[in-house]
Structure 1
C-alpha cells in the first residue's frame, strides 16, 4: 500500500512549483483548450497572442476564424481549435452573460471540453477540488503504483478513490512539475527522488538489475 499523501508531500518538497494565483475562468478555459497535444511553451505563446488581441468572450466570438488561426498557429490542430474557441466564446457571451460555468457538467457541455479541461478550470479558476489528469499525472500515477490504468479517464476515476481529497487541489501542478523536473518520461532522475524506495517503477528496476548480476 502506498501512503499517497506522504508521497505527494515529499514530491512537493522536491520540485519548484510555479506560484499559483486565481486566474480568470475564461482565460483558463480557452488556454486549456489550446493546450491539447501542444507543448506548454507553445500554448502560453498562443494564448498570450490571442488574449492580447481578443481579451473577452464578446471580442473573441466576433473575431474572424482565419485571424484566430493565425494567432494560435503554434498549437496543434489550430484550425479545429480556432472554431472551438470561437464557439465557446459565443456560448459564454450570448447564453451565459459572459460567465463561465463553475461545474463539471456545465463545462463539459461546451464544445471541445472534456474531463481534463473541465477539471483544470475548476482547480485553477474556481479553486474547487478536482483531479485534472494530463500525460504527466497519468504516467507518474502508474509509474509510482498508485493506479494501474491505460487511459486518463480511468486514472482520474482510480485516483479519486485513493487520493485524500485534501490533496486534490495540489496534485496536478505538483505532478506536472515533478514530471518535467525529475520523473521524466525517458530516463527519470531516480537518484534525485526522495520517494524512490516506495516507487514501484524504481523497485522493479532495481530488482531487474540485481537479477542480471
Structure 2
C-alpha cells in the first residue's frame, strides 16, 4: 500500500538511525537494561543501573548475587521482585549453558529466564542492528492508531509490521518507540506537531 510506504519513509526521514535511550556499555549491561525496562520507563532504568552495575559488573557476579541485595538496587523499578529473580536465573543460565557468553540468536536468548521475544529482539536490534521489529506499549499504540495493525497481541502486531515494512526494521522499531513516547502519547497526543497527521485517521486524533 502506498500509504504504508509513505509512513515508513517519513519515520526513517524524521528519525535518523535512532538508538535506544537506555544507557549501557556492553552486551551484559544491555540485556539487564532491557529486562528492567519491561513496563518501566527508560528514564527510571537509567537511574537504577549505575549503582547496580557497580555492585554487579558482569554476568558472573550477577549469577552469584544475593536475591535480597539485588532487590535493594532495583526496588524503584516496577515488578522488581520478579525481575530480581529473573535476572539471577538469566545470569546463571548464561554461565551454565553458554560459558558465560550472552548468546546472540533469538532461540538461545529466549531460552533464558525473563527473556521473551520482545526482549530478545531489542537486544539483537541494539547490539547487532538485526532486522527485527519489537513491539512495546508505544509501538503497539502507534501501529494501531496508524491502522498498520488491528492485531490483539504484541506478537501478532509485530508480524503485521514486519510484513508491511520488510527492511530497516531496527530503525523503524526505535523510531516508533520515540514517536510514541514523545509525540503520539497515550494521553494528549501532539497531533498538531505530528509529521504523520495527514495520514492518520485515529479516533484519538486531536485537531
| Aligned positions, number | 205
Runs of 4+ in structure 1 deviating by more than 4 angstroms, as ranges, are 12-23
CA distance in 1, matches of 2:182, 2:14: 9
Matched-pair contact (CA < 8 Å) for 2:191–2:205: no
Match of 1:36 in 2: 38
Matched-pair contact (CA < 8 Å) for 1:23–1:125: no
1:119-175: CA deviations, max 9, x gaps? 00110112211111100001001101111122211101111111121x201012111
The unaligned stretches of length 5 or more in structure 1 are none
Matched-pair contact (CA < 8 Å) for 1:25–1:126: no
1:73-123: CA deviations, max 9, x gaps? 111111111111011111112321221111111111111111110100110
Instruction: Find out whether 1:91 has 2:93 as its counterpart.
Output: yes
- The range that moved more, 191-200 or 131-140, is 191-200
CA distance in 2, matches of 1:19, 1:108: 22
Matched-pair contact (CA < 8 Å) for 2:133–2:173: yes
Match of 1:194 in 2: 195
Matched-pair contact (CA < 8 Å) for 1:2–1:198: no
Structure 1 residue 180, shift from structure 2 partner: 1.9
SS of 1:125's equivalent? Answer: helix
Match of 1:80 in 2: 82
1:23-49: CA deviations, max 9, x gaps? 622222111111111122212222222
Match of 2:174 in 1: 173
Distance 1:13 1:127, change over 3 A: closer
CA distance in 2, matches of 1:147, 1:58: 41
- The range that moved more, 6-15 or 23-32, is 6-15
CA distance in 2, matches of 1:70, 1:163: 42
Q: Whose radius of gyration is greater, 1 or 2?
A: 1
Distance 1:195 1:73, change over 3 A: same
Distance 1:14 1:182, change over 3 A: farther
SS of 1:58's equivalent? Answer: helix
Match of 2:165 in 1: 163
SS of 1:184's equivalent? Answer: coil
By relative contact order (CA 8 Å, sep 6+), the higher-ranking structure is 1
Structure 1 residue 193, shift from structure 2 partner: 1.4
Matched-pair contact (CA < 8 Å) for 1:133–1:172: yes
Distance 1:120 1:140, change over 3 A: same
CA distance in 2, matches of 1:197, 1:38: 31
CA-atom RMSD in angstroms: 2.4
Distance 1:113 1:181, change over 3 A: same
Match of 1:126 in 2: 128
